[in-house]
Amino acid sequence: MLKSCCIYCSGFFSLSLLIVGIALVLSNVFPQLVQSVVKKQVILENGTMAFDAWESPPAPIYMQFYFFNLTNPIEVLSGSRPAVVEIGPYTYREYRPMEDIDFLENGTRVAAVNNKTYIFQPNMSRGPESDLIRTVNIPAVTLMERFKDSAFASLLSYYMRYTGESLFATHSVGELLWGYKDALLEALHSVKPELDADFGLFYKNNGSNDGQYVFRTGLDDYKDFARVDTWKGESSLSWWTSDQCNMINGTNGASFHPVIKKNETLYMFSSDLCRSLYALYEQDVTVKGIPGYRFVPPGEVFANLTVNPANAGFCVPAGNCLGSGVLNVSACKQGAPIIMSSPHFYQADEKFVKDVFGMKPKKEYHQTTLDIHPLTGTVMRAAKRLQINVFVEKLSKFSQTGNVPTVILPVLYLNESVVIDDDSAGKLRSIVLMQNLVVNSPFMLIGLGIILAVVFMILMCRQKVPESTADERQPLLTS
């Protein structure tokens, strides 16, 4: 009797486990439970892991610069196509802590400045900062473009001829990046004090910040985690010609909200590009054994208005569109004819690639990528790749331009990259393990139910049939 009871109990428990397990799988309770816990923990609040990583990123960040050395300046002035040779990398360790942190509006927002410091890494560089690069004379080109339609043009041209200023110049890597005293700017500074006498592509950017940000903390809505609310006290930009293009959207690209899905659009604001942009899911990736999603900016982000009409507002002045893959940022660079693009004009119109000999765009080297852990929103690996170019054209009032062809001439491209550090990767692997245990627990119940069901069936088959009585064993017919 006891044995039969045990057999039927095993059958009951197996059926119960199967029903509960299947119900939990169908209701998706445990995945939602994990996501709910993470949403509450990933906020910008003192004491949270998310805040510590946001305040002082633990992973080492490196900034690499690749310069384009112009090899045929005389031929270019005669109308030939520019030929450049890529030289680099020149690598810097980047430190970017959040400072002057101030929580606002009951903890729903936090103000901070993102100070950045760059330390040269000789062992990771092609050569020293004293390496010389021949490229376009950006201060001269900027001034020529600025005064080309004014009465001051003739005087400026005469002074440039007198001082021997050319369309092209040679400077060291350190000077081009961090600044040098420019003779032409220094002379004009006495006439126009608003003009700085020093010039560098990242002049005053080392050991400084790009202005105060106010971020959402994610306390009200997890999707607002680290989202930029205002920059320099403004909730929108003023450089572009449409409200949509002037919007400040998304985070600063260093952090993202938790529970990211493949069909999401991730928005970012980049002060380097003077605009917001977005990234879409491309593929699954694994970083240090941790699964993640790769997001990349699609070609439509920098496409011409004929491909993406929403980009019409980035044509400055209004209606002046250069083509797909390039962005005129002169409006936010003090009038300098700076054009931004992806390295080697990746995803740009073929015209820009063919206009400069030496351009070899390749996706694996020149695409911007973000590899993100979807549950926590942690950036596990990233590479921001941008190219700085200068718009060059023949100007009739300036003999220094000769017969130069109209061209977008590349000066350098940067690769700002990061890979999650081992300590953070270990913590993330623990989170992944715990997630897998919780999410897969219903399947464990189903598996246990199946095992008990098999045991139940075996016991039922092996249960002995009751022995017959002596009368039942007597033959039915006797002779």
pLDDT (tens digit per residue) in 432-441: 776 665 555 5
* pLDDT confidence of residue 114: 95
Burial group, residue 430, by CB count within 10 angstroms (0-12, 13-18, 19+): exposed
Kindly state the percentage of the chain with pLDDT values over 70: 83
pLDDT tens-digit profile of 273-288?
999 999 999 999 999 9
Distance (Å, whole) CA 453 – CA 138: 79
Q: Which of the residue ranges 25-34, 107-116, 229-238, 378-387 would you say has the lowest mean pLDDT?
A: 25-34
Give which of 380, 363, 369, 226 is closest to 292, Cα–Cα. 380
How many Å apart are CA 246 and CA 237, to the nearest integer?
Answer: 5
> Which percentage of the chain shows pLDDT scores above 90?
65
Would you state the pLDDT for residue 474? 62
- Phi, psi (5° rounding) for residue 282? -115, -45
- The span from the CA of 390 to the CA of 141, in Å, is 9
pLDDT of residue 152: 83
Q: Which residues contact 140 (CB under 8 A, 6 or more apart)?
A: 160, 165, 166, 167, 169, 184, 400
Between CA 156 and CA 263 the distance in angstroms is 55
Average pLDDT over residues 185-201: 85
Q: pLDDT tens across 93-131, in order?
A: 999 999 999 999 899 999 999 999 999 999 999 999 999
For residue 135, what pLDDT is reported?
97
Angstrom distance (rounded) from CA 321 to CA 130: 37
What is the mean predicted confidence (pLDDT) over 447-457?
Answer: 57
pTM of the model: 0.87
